[in-house]
Structure 1
Amino acid sequence: MTKFLLTVHVLAAIITIGPVTVAASMFPPSARRALATPDDAAALATVRTLHRICRVYAVIAVAVPVFGLATANSLRVLGSPWLMTSIALTVAAAAVLAALVLPRQSSVLAALDGTDATHDATAVRRVAGQLAMYTGVFNLLWATVTVLMIVRPGSTTGA
């Protein structure tokens, strides 16, 4: 059962978190491109698609910690410091995504769509810059969790 849980956990991480990190990283430059060419429908469609990927895959990514906790429980490592650190970093990454990245993406998208007249081009560029920073933090948190999962202290793999 442990091998099954671990397999689903790793697959869920690859299939859900990978697209979010890539789409979130592509969003700021795509938003700037859409802002620079307001008549380019394809540029706006790209921004919409990237935001949709981030939203949908973020929800589906809940499977990652669920199966991760189930795996940790079956391995009896729930109290391990490396796992507690990974859990804390996962919560931090989720908070960055939910509180900083997705709302700003929505704001930029609303400004580009013309449904939010309160943001001018300068404000959109500033928010896109903030998004790049917050996305970098999100990606760094996930990279750290990945390293902890691979090079966990006290690993029984001997690697």
Structure 2
Amino acid sequence: MNLIYAAHVITAILFLGPVMFATSTFQVQALAAHKGDAQAVGSAALMYRVTTIYGALSGLVPVFGIAAWIFAYPHLMKNGLYHASILLCIIAWAVLYLAIIPRQRTMMAGLGALDPDQPGNKKVKKVSDWNKTKSQLSMFGGIFNGLWLLVALLMVIV
């Protein structure tokens, strides 16, 4: 059962680390691209793809974690710290999918860097206040990353 636990830790490192980095750097690159930095457009597009793709793949982290919890460490099911960490994970994904990704999409639309063939991309409104959206993304990215750091601390404590 240590294999399941190892898969849990490895998926957390491989999938959450890049998302945490991307949510911290996207808005800086997008604003630079808006101000005329052509190279920053590519960087912003890459960070957007990392956020969306790796954000979805990070759903494997709790799958392996819950499997390890059930099959390898069932005695920990009564430990409230694990329940708290699951709740924090849900809140973190809500922040990612309800606050971060939609704002990143509006910035990408404002840059003209969204793929028009992707479903729903033609209806995305362009960002109206770049500095405000950058600040919001910095705030929500910090909340998202802070929640994951808190989850990691809870896992170490137990």
Output the TM-score relative to the length of structure 1.
0.87
CA RMSD of aligned residues (A): 1.6
Residue 16 of structure 1 contacts residue 58 of structure 1 at CA under 8 Å; is this kept in 2?
A: yes
Change (3 A) 1:93 1:118: closer
Q: CA deviation at 1:29?
A: 1.0
Residue 90 of structure 1 contacts residue 142 of structure 1 at CA under 8 Å; is this kept in 2?
A: yes
- Partners of 2:98 and 2:79 in 1: CA distance: 28
Specify the SS of the correspondent of 1:78.
helix
- Partners of 1:95 and 1:126 in 2: CA distance: 21
Corresponding residue number in structure 2 for 1:7: 6
Change (3 A) 1:119 1:4: closer
Q: CA deviation at 1:47?
A: 0.5
Residue 107 of structure 2 contacts residue 126 of structure 2 at CA under 8 Å; is this kept in 1?
A: no
Corresponding residue number in structure 2 for 1:21: 20
Output the TM-score relative to the length of structure 2.
0.88
Corresponding residue number in structure 2 for 1:102: 101
Residue 106 of structure 2 contacts residue 125 of structure 2 at CA under 8 Å; is this kept in 1?
A: no
5 Å-filtered alignment, 1:1-159, equals 1=1, 3-37=2-36, 40-74=37-71, 75-76=73-74, 77-113=76-112, 119-120=127-128, 123-152=129-158
Residue 106 of structure 2 contacts residue 126 of structure 2 at CA under 8 Å; is this kept in 1?
A: no
One-letter code of the match for 1:83?
Y
- Partners of 2:127 and 2:92 in 1: CA distance: 27
One-letter code of the match for 1:103?
P
- Partners of 2:126 and 2:64 in 1: CA distance: 42
Q: CA deviation at 1:48?
A: 0.6
- Partners of 2:9 and 2:62 in 1: CA distance: 10
Residue 111 of structure 1 contacts residue 124 of structure 1 at CA under 8 Å; is this kept in 2?
A: no
Q: CA deviation at 1:28?
A: 1.3
Q: Deviations over 1:134-159 (max 9, x none)?
A: 0000000000000000112xxxxxxx
Aligned-residue identity in percent: 32
The answer for unaligned runs of 5 or more in structure 1 is 153-159
- Partners of 1:92 and 1:67 in 2: CA distance: 18
- Partners of 1:29 and 1:86 in 2: CA distance: 30
Equivalent pairs counted in the alignment come to 147
Q: CA deviation at 1:80?
A: 1.4
Change (3 A) 1:118 1:93: closer
